[in-house]
Amino acid sequence: MRTTVIRLSAVLAFVALTTYAPLAPSGVAALGAATGPQLRSIGPLAFAPDGMMYAADSLGSTIYALDLGTQATGGAPGTANVAGIDQKIAAMLGTEAKDIAITDLVVHPGTHNSYIAVMRGQGPSAKPALLRVDGAGKIALVTTETLPYTSVTLANVKPASGSETDFFGQRTQSITQVKYANGRVYVSGLSNEEFASKMWSVPYPFTKADAGTSLEIFHDNHQQLETRAPMYAFVPYSIGGQSFIIGAYTCTPLVKFPIADLKPNPGGKYRGATIAELGAGNRPIDMVVYNKGGKDYLLMANTSRGVMKIATDTFGSAKAITTPSNAETAGVPFETVRSMQGVQQLDVLDATHSIVLQKQGASANLQAVDLP
């Protein structure tokens, strides 16, 4: 998973660069292009181990691979706590905190600086920005004028119509999460198909995105099979030597999918194994895996049920929930981390700390928190 003042002209130059321009007919733009990525929106974000950043543009239905180059170096290592970071970012962008939306927070694997994706403004006129926070608490705008990049356009995403052209509307569900693992970029979201819930698996370097896999889950709280709700947060994770996607949905089923079975299935769907029901009236925000005391844990931030800590050692043996449990929660056990309140974004900072964007009163703070 996010203080200096810059010239307004630099901000305006950055905004000008975000005007949409269509990609080449192949759907793939080449690394080293003369101009930077033509982002219409930004977030979610992900890093590969080598520092390549993957940025989703939901409005453009596009995933960008951004080579940050020297803009990933030069700052103090780590990420310092920054109080009122939403207000400071807004001031840098020439607006007020109420007029920005922080869409994601991720940590660079080498420098441990935090990168924050922001949408500035409201409605269809909102513009994207990317910022870096270093170990001294310095906030820097990442300019994109000369960033080498490649991009790939996803097929059959949820179309824009009416209010869905608003970044804060349903069109953002076309891409809900992005992760990198083992040479592939995994993307969750909604398609324009009958079975709308989708997972795309795109090899990197980019060639062309396939049609993706339509997903089906048993939703315990809703007591039915579902294919139209998007997976909001997920992590690639190995269980018994086999690669899986562990994903969470609204209201809040936790589901595992073998990556080997996530193949294009036009007109069909693949049913995952629901291994937990974590409670209704809730949407997952971020999900990370960390190791503590020789054991792996999944840490998940949520909109209304706080931050959950889930031991992963039962994931392999967990019995799939296929019929209503008639309970508020079921399946693999979890605990709520009472010390982590108001978390809106989350990532692993280092071996012992997470970095969180935490709402406190009228403002949001960026701070390091001990991994529980």
Q: What does the pLDDT average to over 211-225? A: 96
Dihedral of the CA atoms 235, 239, 242, 244 (nearest 10)?
-20
Give residue limits of the domains in the chain.
Answer: 1-210+351-365, 212-337
Q: What does the pLDDT average to over 178-198? A: 95
Q: What does the pLDDT average to over 348-367? A: 96
Token reading at 372: 């529980």
Contact assessment for residue 33 and residue 158, using Cβ atoms and an 8 Å cutoff: no
- 269/351 Cα distance (integer angstroms): 38
Using DSSP's 3-state secondary structure scheme, residue 259 falls into helix
Estimate to the nearest angstrom the gap between the alpha carbon of 15 and the chain centroid: 22
The structure tokens 């930004």 sit at 42
Answer whether residue 231 shows pLDDT above 80. Answer: yes
User: In the chain, what percentage of residues exceed pLDDT 90?
Assistant: 77
Answer whether residue 144 shows pLDDT above 90. Answer: no
Q: What does the pLDDT average to over 222-231? A: 95
pLDDT category, 23, cuts 50, 70, 90? very low
Answer whether residue 216 shows pLDDT above 60. Answer: yes
Q: Find the length of the chain.
A: 372
Contact assessment for residue 143 and residue 132, using Cβ atoms and an 8 Å cutoff: no
Q: Considering the entire predicted model, what is its pTM?
A: 0.89
For residue range 247-278, what is the model confidence (pLDDT) as tens digits?
A: 999 999 999 999 999 999 888 999 999 999 99
Give me the pLDDT at residue 19, please: 33
Contact assessment for residue 102 and residue 345, using Cβ atoms and an 8 Å cutoff: yes
Phi, psi of 20 (to 5 degrees): -70, 135
Query: CA 214, 218, 221 angle in degrees (round to 5)?
Result: 130
Give me the pLDDT at residue 75, please: 94
More confident call, 18 vs 159: 159
